[in-house]
Structure 1
Amino acid sequence: MVSIWARIVAVFHFILLSPPKEQWPDQQPLPASVQAPFSPQVNVQAEAPQPPTPFLPPSAPRASNFTCEYPSLEGYTSCSTYGDRSCWLKYPNSTKQRYDINTDYESIFPPGKTRKYYIEINNKTIRPDGVDRQAMIVNDTYPGPWIEACWGDWLEITVKNNLKTNGTTIHWHGIRQLNTTANDGVNGITQCPIAPGETYTYRFRAMQYGTTWYHSHYSLQYGEGVLGPMTIHGPSSADYDEAQPPVLMTDWAHESWYTKWWDNTIGGKPGIPLPDNILVGGKGTWPANKPSKEFRLNFVKGTRYLLRLINTSVDTSFVFSIDNHKIQVIGADLVPIVPYMTDHVVVGIGQRYHIIVTANPIDGKANATYWIRTQPAKGCDPGGTKKIDPRTGIVVYKDSEPVDLPGNIDVTCRDEPYDKLVPILKWTVGQPSNIAANSQFDIGFDNITAGTSFPANIPRNRFNMYSDTMWLNFSNPTLSQDLSAKQAAFDSHSVVVKEDSKKDDWVYLLVSGTGIPRSGRQYLPIAHPIHLHGHDFAILQQSNEPYRIGGLDLKLDNPPRRDVAFMPSKGYLVLAFKADNPGVWLMHCHIATHASGGLAMQIVENGDQIVLDPFDQKQLSQTCKKWQEWSSNKANHFLQDDSGI
């Protein structure tokens, strides 16, 4: 069958414009095995090159004792300076032999060290906004501890589950997991849940650099607090003087999201579950219980600060701004971009941005205090949000009452402007290899009658983006099944799409908010933040208009790319990824209640090429055995009431 994509793209390859002028010098790193020549010296023995001295990365706190180490890179030195943050490691007296912002990190990265972390997931009562709340958190802190690594490091992170009545997994959001699909952390897909009292060790390479987060992928658990920031230190596309710790922004509910979900979907409570508050940096204010200290950033006039924004919400996308300040955007998700200036940035659920804020208030007052605003984006969800004060933090030059200067900010639900997200490392997207039947997915809302996969004998509404609504079997993850057969059989509620392509072929996906009407199916006016595991994807088109055949206008020459992008309300989103990472990869809406409602599918990419190393194979088997022992005990049996993710 000839792909509909092939016919569309054949036209675009003739009309592509010439590539723009290079923004950065064309430089490639020296392979670790190659040694630079040394000038001959008479009667003097040349000193052997030494590995780089361990160094404090510029994006780490100045008071930190964290260092980057590259013991196998003899002769290399750190080259990030106040005047040039684009360089990371270089060989002396050479402009070519560098690891820098232009290095193709998809295949080339400096060999670092192995960093080991140990974290525990616990039940605990917390009060981040002054209201007591039973929560599930990491290492007794909310947010969880900041996990740091350097570009090229291996990470080995052991997770212990101390929860009383829940399994858990940890997903490393946006991490490519090249040839390490067993470490993606999705129960029912890449592993069984970690049973209470048990541990699981995740091992993967930090090929990318930038800021991301880790979170539970067990039902709605990350909304209960199982999350934290993660930074892979590396080069930057713009200069800065000082880096602030990651800024996590989230919606927050005073009642468990599990309870809200149950009441709404099983209990028949009308309406849509909504958050009660907004937290920034794990802190919030509540009228009757205002904490003694709100979230604050202390600025010194003239200093250029790197801020790392992360939206860890269940249901809310934010428009971030600082009163009376401009923002320079330099990275989207884990992709460095050509810098651009703005006065606000829209951060969808799961998205991250690197921004630089220069401490020069527009009004020139360097002895004032200014509001940080995280305004819920309007129009993302027909349920809306409760009226919550968006003034969620302060920038302090000198202690004083904040100046209220909100500015004229557009708070429409949308991604950052398509033409502004220009990756430094360029891609040209080739013709698609997949057929039309495996490329178009319509997001609908279905009324489903009771069945063996669903609890309680009542109809319910569930989301659907392909053949069925997702409902995973925790005890039988996809990765434990035989994926080599071309016609491997899967339960319909697993919602599996098999993509068997040659290495580096392109796979196109069209996700639409409209489709063919049918009985019991609705198409809701909702903007869905779509996240794909295992890949950065290229955004070929993003439209607010309904999809129509022949209406595509795809950008193939260096399109924006990231790992979360909005499918606009009533519109469509066209994505493409390179089939270079055999594995089982979840694609889902990152509104957590929508994912719980089944708005997800999984892509089995070149299943016959998936190979687990002995450690991962043994751990997969043992974890499932322990989970089955725990979950089969009637005393531990708790009804699965959602998709599982």
Structure 2
Amino acid sequence: MAPFTRAICALLASLPGGTWKNPFCVPGVETQPGKLAQTSPPSSVEEPAQSSPPGTIGRYHDEDEDENHLILPGIVETCAGNTPTTRHKWCKHSIDTDYTRSSPTTGVVREYWLEATDVILAPDGVSRALTVINGTVPGPTLYADWGDIVRVHFTNSLHTSHNGSSIHFHGIKQNHTVMSDGVPSITECPLAPGKTRTYEWKAEQYGSSWYHSHFELQAWQGIFGGLIINGPATADYDEDLGSIFLNDWGHEGPVPMDDKATIFRGPPIMDSGLINGTNTFGNLGRRYNIAFEAGKSYRLRFINAAIDSHFKFMLDNHEMTVIASDFIPLEPYVTKIVDIAIGQRYDVIIKANQQQVADNFWLRAIPQLPCSLNKNAHNIRAIVHYGKQPSEPTTTGYPFLDKCQDEKELTPWFARDAREPNMTIPIVASLKIVGDRVKWSVNGTIFTSDWSNPTLLQVIDQVPSFKPSTLVVEVPDAEQAFYMVLYNLTPFPHPIHLHGHDFAIISQGPGLLFAEEAINAFTRTNPPRRDTATLPALGHLVLAIRTTNPGAWLMHCHIGWHTSEGFGLQILERAKDIPALLDTERLRRECQDWKEYQSRFSIEQSDSGI
């Protein structure tokens, strides 16, 4: 048995149930590989961005090249964006610019003021207590241009629910700005009610994403909104219609539903779903409507912001050209249906060329049965209409098979090969029963961190070691490549999201990889890159990451219940370089504010801390 295999089998044997008679751990037997201040967008949202001809490929960069991942400041350049026929351009840059090494410096600061409040709203017609941003679900969209500085002032006004809060900018690498990642117990203490915190970072990426709270289950209580960074694109289009949020929805709210999930040892059943914060439930509520003009092409930015649903989305009778996944521009490909896991984003272009068929069409988001339970799974719809007023469509959706899987045709426009790893880190996800509750574990440990003692504060204080329950994986050296080899011992798929980085997907599929030969057979030539990927049920996921960004970066399953129940770990990257990046006085002050509030209102931490 090879050393890598022995290490995995030893790890499996230490978990409850041992190796459960896994044949791969029998000696001699191995497997084969198998964001309100500003609500109008900056320069280019009305005429956003695109690329060179489909089918060609941009500049090629070899991961083995020595490179400085600090984006060097350049001459301040103003940019008017691009036009419907020049989407591949972006002033002095283009879709072929390697944004990991070079980005514009616009000198522009996009400043926003966000406030979290307790409200009663009825997104699908059924009233429910929510916590929201600036009074709406979703919250206002944050816009920036590639190379801008984004500054967000966030005020916690949750004086009814007495909750802490935070804002995380999903998919933003936070290159050398780890204090703006917005994760309580990792990069900050929760923001206490009555307090304001400022997050600031440079838009070194471009594309589509979202911001959300990372405190308890607040993201699914309503604290989320869109995030659009304008830049070049890989295909031309006429208009940008902005973010399209896909949510599942429960009328009880996420906290009581989470209690049921942990006690009854199974995922709760959602009541309905929302598209851009609205839908119908029985005779209540209203549909979200999108107006098309025949002959035009439209960019739509789909975001799966669900708590526990993997969707397939489609527009009846129309094809879609996919041009980006997460923040990664893609070689465009045409499809009728797109799979989107929780936390993922897809930018698509749709041509308005079906008016001869009908004036109204269903836009559908369909939860996939193997990993999504919903009482109204076939009613999560919006109306796309060619006429001035929408009416109920009579169109039919495309046929499909219920599967919880990632899109397969993802070829990054800017090609990068993955390096051989300097180290390989095995991660095993499994279930644990603790008393009468179900928990998730990583390498046999249920992740538990302390709101009032974040990892960054511990780094400043130079603690001699971290508590085992905080699952700190230390990678100390710069410019190293390491592989995270994730194994799923459960029959449930998991959307895995990494903060502070994107990653290359070296291998993804059924079965558990054990053999050295499996590592040697991984495809490293321009593999798919993104920041959220599905770990298949009873399968594996191998991610290649480079140590280019000092910080404490959370990796977790993006199913809300699973994060709450302990499915997470943190990568402590280049710890010796972190203190120079921190405002220590601010961090200590904000943590003291939280401790005082927590003590005054007797707030107990009831989840994993993330």
After superposition, the C-alpha distances for 1:368-423 in whole angstroms (9 at most, x for unaligned) are: 21101101023226xx3334224511110124431222122333110001xx1111
1:448-459 superposed matches below 5 A: 448=434, 458-459=435-436
After superposition, the C-alpha distances for 1:238-278 in whole angstroms (9 at most, x for unaligned) are: 0000110210110111112111223443xx45643222111
Cα distance between partner residues in 1 of 2:323 and 2:181: 27
The one of 429, 434, 440 aligned to 1:443: 429
Contact 2:293 2:386 in 1 (8 A): yes
The one of 477, 484, 487 aligned to 1:512: 487
The one of 336, 341, 347 aligned to 1:348: 341
1:557 corresponds in structure 2 to 525
Question: Structure 2: 5+ residue runs without aligned partners?
Answer: 6-40, 49-72
After superposition, the C-alpha distances for 1:559-594 in whole angstroms (9 at most, x for unaligned) are: 000000001111100001111101000000000100
| Partner amino acid, structure 1, of 2:588 | S
| Partner amino acid, structure 1, of 2:378 | D
1:89 corresponds in structure 2 to 91
CA spacing shift, 1:270–1:554, aligned 2, 3 Å: closer
Name the SS of the counterpart of 1:482 in structure 2. Answer: helix
1:492 corresponds in structure 2 to 468
2:94 pairs with 1:100: yes
Name the SS of the counterpart of 2:211 in structure 1. Answer: strand
After superposition, the C-alpha distances for 1:506-528 in whole angstroms (9 at most, x for unaligned) are: 110011113xxxxxxxxx20110
Cα distance between partner residues in 2 of 1:513 and 1:131: 37
Percent identity over paired residues: 36
The one of 171, 176, 180 aligned to 1:179: 176
Name the SS of the counterpart of 1:402 in structure 2. Answer: coil
2:497 pairs with 1:531: yes
1:154-553 superposed matches below 5 A: 154-164=149-159, 165-265=162-262, 268-269=263-264, 271-291=266-286, 294-361=287-354, 365=356, 367-380=358-371, 384-398=373-387, 399-417=390-408, 420-434=409-423, 436=424, 439-448=425-434, 458-482=435-459, 488-501=464-477, 503-514=478-489, 524-549=490-515, 550-552=517-519, 553=521
Contact 1:200 1:619 in 2 (8 A): no
After superposition, the C-alpha distances for 1:515-560 in whole angstroms (9 at most, x for unaligned) are: xxxxxxxxx2011000000001000010122323233431111100
Cα distance between partner residues in 2 of 1:507 and 1:270: 34
| Partner amino acid, structure 1, of 2:483 | Y
Name the SS of the counterpart of 1:389 in structure 2. Answer: helix
After TM superposition, give the deviation of residue 460 of structure 1 in Å.
2.6
After TM superposition, give the deviation of residue 639 of structure 1 in Å.
2.8
Name the SS of the counterpart of 1:632 in structure 2. Answer: helix
Name the SS of the counterpart of 1:586 in structure 2. Answer: strand
Contact 2:47 2:82 in 1 (8 A): no
Contact 1:274 1:315 in 2 (8 A): no
Contact 1:58 1:242 in 2 (8 A): no
The one of 597, 601, 606 aligned to 1:630: 597
After TM superposition, give the deviation of residue 426 of structure 1 in Å.
1.5
| Partner amino acid, structure 2, of 1:296 | N
Cα distance between partner residues in 1 of 2:609 and 2:268: 18
Name the SS of the counterpart of 2:459 in structure 1. Answer: coil
Name the SS of the counterpart of 1:604 in structure 2. Answer: strand
Contact 1:304 1:357 in 2 (8 A): yes
Q: Which moved more, 1:605-614 or 1:585-594?
A: 605-614
Cα distance between partner residues in 2 of 1:374 and 1:263: 25
2:147 corresponds in structure 1 to 152
Cα distance between partner residues in 2 of 1:491 and 1:613: 23
CA spacing shift, 1:271–1:563, aligned 2, 3 Å: closer
| Partner amino acid, structure 1, of 2:142 | I
Count of equivalent residues: 543
Contact 2:292 2:385 in 1 (8 A): yes
Contact 2:261 2:561 in 1 (8 A): no
After superposition, the C-alpha distances for 1:281-305 in whole angstroms (9 at most, x for unaligned) are: 11110103133xx111111111010
Contact 1:545 1:571 in 2 (8 A): yes
After TM superposition, give the deviation of residue 57 of structure 1 in Å.
3.5
Cα distance between partner residues in 1 of 2:377 and 2:84: 39
| Partner amino acid, structure 1, of 2:89 | C
Cα distance between partner residues in 2 of 1:72 and 1:571: 45
Cα distance between partner residues in 2 of 1:56 and 1:202: 19
After TM superposition, give the deviation of residue 89 of structure 1 in Å.
0.6
| Partner amino acid, structure 1, of 2:548 | D
Cα distance between partner residues in 2 of 1:76 and 1:206: 14
Bigger radius of gyration among the two: 1
Contact 2:272 2:379 in 1 (8 A): no
Cα distance between partner residues in 2 of 1:378 and 1:209: 33
| CA-atom RMSD in angstroms | 2.2
CA spacing shift, 1:403–1:391, aligned 2, 3 Å: farther
2:126 corresponds in structure 1 to 131
Name the SS of the counterpart of 1:410 in structure 2. Answer: coil
| Partner amino acid, structure 2, of 1:599 | F
Contact 1:541 1:574 in 2 (8 A): yes
Instruction: Give TM-score, length-normalised by structure 1.
Output: 0.81
Name the SS of the counterpart of 2:281 in structure 1. Answer: coil
Cα distance between partner residues in 2 of 1:4 and 1:334: 33
Name the SS of the counterpart of 1:214 in structure 2. Answer: strand
| Partner amino acid, structure 1, of 2:321 | Q
After TM superposition, give the deviation of residue 333 of structure 1 in Å.
0.2
Contact 1:180 1:612 in 2 (8 A): no
Higher relative contact order (CA 8 A, sep 6+): 2
CA spacing shift, 1:465–1:343, aligned 2, 3 Å: same
Cα distance between partner residues in 1 of 2:270 and 2:183: 25
